[in-house]
Copies of this chain bind each other. A is one copy, B any other.
C-alpha cells in the first residue's frame, strides 16, 4: 500500500465512522479533487474501506456508508461483566501512550517528537540490518550478543551473560517484577513514581508500598522502616532524573540505599530510563556499577532513539538472571531480529553520539524555556525541582486546586497535561501537575502554557 492510499483511506475511514449508515459518499472524481490524489489512489482507498466493511457499493447508484454490524445485531454480552471482574488499572497508562487528538497540544508526551528522532540514521541502520541473510530468523532469547555487549558497556561493569534484551522499558519492568516477586508480595516504590511501573506491579498481584522522596531522592529513613514492616525484597526506583519529579538521588542516599538493600537481602530495580537524556550529557554513576548482585538495571532505547525502537536491556548478576530469562521467554520469546540488528547498527554508527548530543541540547533548551515560562505565566504555581535531565517538570499547584479536575479542563481547552494523582503508587498527595517537554518544541510549549494559564486563572 502506498503512503497516498493510506492517507486517503485514513481520511475516508474517519468520515465513514462519523457518518450515518446509508449516507452517500462523493464520487471518485470529487474525492480526487478533495484529497489531491489520483483516481487510482482514491479507488484503492475505497476498495480498502469496502473490505473493512465500512462502506458498500450499490450498482448504478454510488458508494454508501455501511450499516454497522454491531448496531444491526446486538448480542447480550452482559455476562462478560460477571466473568471478568475488575480489570488491570491502566487507563492512565493508555492515555500516556496514546497520541493526543488533533489540535491538542502535547505537554504530557512520553516520547520525543519526530524533530528529535534520528530519522535518517535509523533508515540507514535498518537498511543495513536487512542485508543479513538471516534478517528475519529467530533471535536468541537473551538477544544478539553484539547488542548485549553494547548495553553491558553502558551499564558499567556488566559481562555479556549479565544482559538480557526485551521489547522496551515497560516490558523490562514487567519482566523484572515477575522474576523477583510473587502475587501478594509487597514492592517498595518511590513516591511519586512512574505510573506504568505501578500499573505493571498491580497487574501481577503485587502490593506497592510508597516510600516518599525529597530533593535528594528516596527518604532512606523511611525506606529502612518500609523494608522492616513490609518484608519486601524488591525496591523499584529511578535514581537519575526521576519521572515525574525530576529528582536525582544524592551521593549519600545512593550509598544508603545500596546498604539497605544488602542488609535486607533485597533487589533494587534501577530504572535508568533517562540515561541518555542528561542535558549536560553526564549522569551520576549507576547503582548497578556499585553493586555485587543487588541491582537489576533497566535501560531502554525508545526514549533516546524513537518510540518504535522497542528495545531495552535488563542487566543483572547471579542466579536472578536465569529467572529473568525464564520470565522473559514466557512473555514474547525474543525481540524481533530486524529491530535488534537495526539498533546495533545505529548505536555503533558515528551518527549516534551526534544524535544524542543534539537531543540532550534540545531537551535542555526546552526545559529551561519551560521553567522560565512557568514562573512568568503560571502565578502561584511552584517548580519543585529544576530538572537537569529527562522529560518532566513537576509542579505544585496553588493550595486547594484539584489536579485531576484541572487536567480535565486543560484537555478541553486544547492542552494535554498530566494530573499528579496517578503518579503516586498508593495515596496521592493532591495538587501536583506533570508537564513534559518531550513532544513539544518551544513554540508549542509557549502556546500550551498560554492555554494552561487561562484555565488556571478561571
Contact = CB atoms under 8 A, between A and B. Distances in A.
Interface in A4-20: 6, 9-10, 13
A89 B90 CA distance: 27
A1 to B, nearest CB: 5
Given A203-B178, A308-B136, A265 B326 contact: no
Contacts of A82: 265
Residue from A54, A80, A85 with most neighbouring chain B CB atoms (10 Å): A80
B83 A138 contact: no
A283 interface: no
A199 interface: yes
A405 interface: no
A114 B333 CA distance: 18
A376 to B, nearest CB: 32
A149 interface: yes
Interface stretch (A123-131, A385-393, A396-404, A419-427): A123-131
| Number of copies of this kind of chain in the complex | 2
Given A69-B159, A70-B159, A322 B87 contact: yes
A199 to B, nearest CB: 6
Given A174-B331, A326-B90, A344-B1, A83 B149 contact: no
Interface stretch (A27-35, A165-173, A409-417): A165-173
Contact of A265 (B68, B79, B127, B292): B79
Contacts of A326: 87-91, 94
Interface of A: 1, 3, 6, 9-10, 13, 48, 51-54, 68-70, 73, 75-77, 79-85, 87-91, 93-94, 97-99, 111, 114, 117, 119, 122-123, 126-127, 130-141, 145-146, 149, 152-153, 157, 159-161, 166-168, 170-171, 174, 178-180, 182-183, 196, 199-200, 203, 205, 233, 265-267, 292-293, 305-310, 317-320, 322-323, 325-327, 329-339, 344-345, 348
